[in-house]
Amino acid sequence: MRIVGGEGRLEPFGKVTVVGGGAWGTALAIIADRAGRQVRLWVREPEVAAAVAGARRSPFLPGRDIPLSIAVDDDLGAALAGAELVVLAVPSQFLRAMARRVEALLPPGVPVLICSKGIEVASGALMSEVVAAEMVGRPRAVLSGPSFADEAAAGQPTAVTVAAAGADAALDPLAARIAVTLGTATFRPYLSDDPVGVEVGGAVKNVLAIACGMATGRGFGANARAALIARGLAEMKRLAEALGGRWETVTGLSGIGDLTLTCSSEQSRNFSFGKALGEGLTPEAALAGKAAVVEGAANAHSVTELADRLGVEMPICDTVAAILRGEVVIGDAIRTLLTRPLTAEPRALEPHVKLRHPAAG
C-alpha cells in the first residue's frame, strides 16, 4: 500500500522537536528541516547550544551546516512548546530520565518517535518499554536502520524503518504520518508493525560491531568479519523471536541492513572502539576522549543479561561482554569461539545436532 498520494494522502506533522543534540539528533533535525518541517533542536549543554545556534555547526557533526531555520535551545520547555511530534534521540541509558522530563512538559496526545538504540542496563527493557513506563498512554513509534548520521545529514540516500505496533503497519496512522513527515528524495522511511524486532536489531548490532572491530584490530580479514556478521545475525534473530519479534524484521533494514553497515566501517563508533581493543587498548583507553557515546559498550552487558534470563544463546555477544568486563583476553576469547562445537545452520539438519570440534581435543 502506498501511504502518500491520491485521496488518502496523510498530513505530516508540521512542528517537530528533536530532543538530543548529538550526531544523530542533529542529523534528524536537518532531515526534518529538509522535509519542510518547522524544527526545534534541544541541546543539553548550554554552551554547546549557544555555539550551535551561533556558528550553525555541531561538535558532534563537524563539517555539516545547521540551517538557520532550525531553532536551537537548551531550555527543554521552550523547545517542546507547540511540538506536534517529539523525536527522542538521546543515548539509550539516559532515555528513561529524559522521557520522564519530557512527559512532565508535553501536552497529552503528542506522539514521540524513539530513535535511541539499545536495551536498558538496569531493567533489561527495550527503549519502547522504557518510554511506555515513563510516558503512560502516549502514542509512540520507533525508528532504526542503517544510517550514519553524517551521510544522512549530507543528503546521501538513506533508508530506515519506522515501526509502531498495529495490525497493519501501512494503515497505522502514526507510523505512516511519521514517514510522511521525515521522508524526502534522499531519506526513505519504510513501515513495520514489529517494533520489537526493529529495536532488537538496533541494540544487538552495536555489540556485534565491537566484535567485528576486535577481529579487524587483531589482523583478521574479510572472511572473519563475514562470519561474525552472519552468525551474529542468527543471535539477533533468536533474541528478537524470544521477545515476540519476527525473523522477517531481522532480515530487513533495521536488522541485517544496520548490522552490515555498522560492522563494516570505521565511521561506526562501535566498530572503531572494537578495533582499538583488538589493537591492544584497554576499554578505558579506547573510550577516553570520545565525545560521542559508544552504545555497544553498555549494551554488551544489557543484551547478554537479557538473553541469559530468556535462555537465548548468544556466544558472540557473550564474548564481547566478557572481554569488556576483563574476564577474558581477546586472543583466548577468539580461540574459544572458534573451537565451539560444530553445528548446523537452521533447517540444514535437526536444530540441536552438534559435532565435536576437532580442535577441541
Residues with catalytic roles:
205
Phi, psi of 167 (to 5 degrees): -70, -30
Q: Is 42 exposed, middle or buried (0-12, 13-18, 19+ CB in 10 A)?
A: buried
Single out the residue of 163, 158, 162, 161 nearest to residue 187, CA to CA: 158
Single out the residue of 15, 184, 158 nearest to residue 87, CA to CA: 15
Question: What interhelical angle do 330-338 and 195-217 show, nearest 10?
Answer: 110
> Rounded CA gap, 195 and 192, in Å?
7
Region label for 94, one of left (φ > 0), alpha (ψ between -120 and 50) or beta (otherwise): alpha
Strand pairing category for 38-42 and 85-88: unpaired
Alpha helices in the chain (DSSP H): 23-34, 46-55, 76-80, 95-105, 127-134, 149-153, 173-182, 195-217, 222-242, 247-250, 258-262, 269-278, 283-287, 295-310, 315-324, 330-338
**CB within 8 Å of 274: residues ≥ 6 apart:** 209, 210, 211, 212, 213, 214, 215, 216, 217, 296, 320
> Rounded CA gap, 42 and 80, in Å?
8
* 8 Å CB contact between 272 and 213: yes
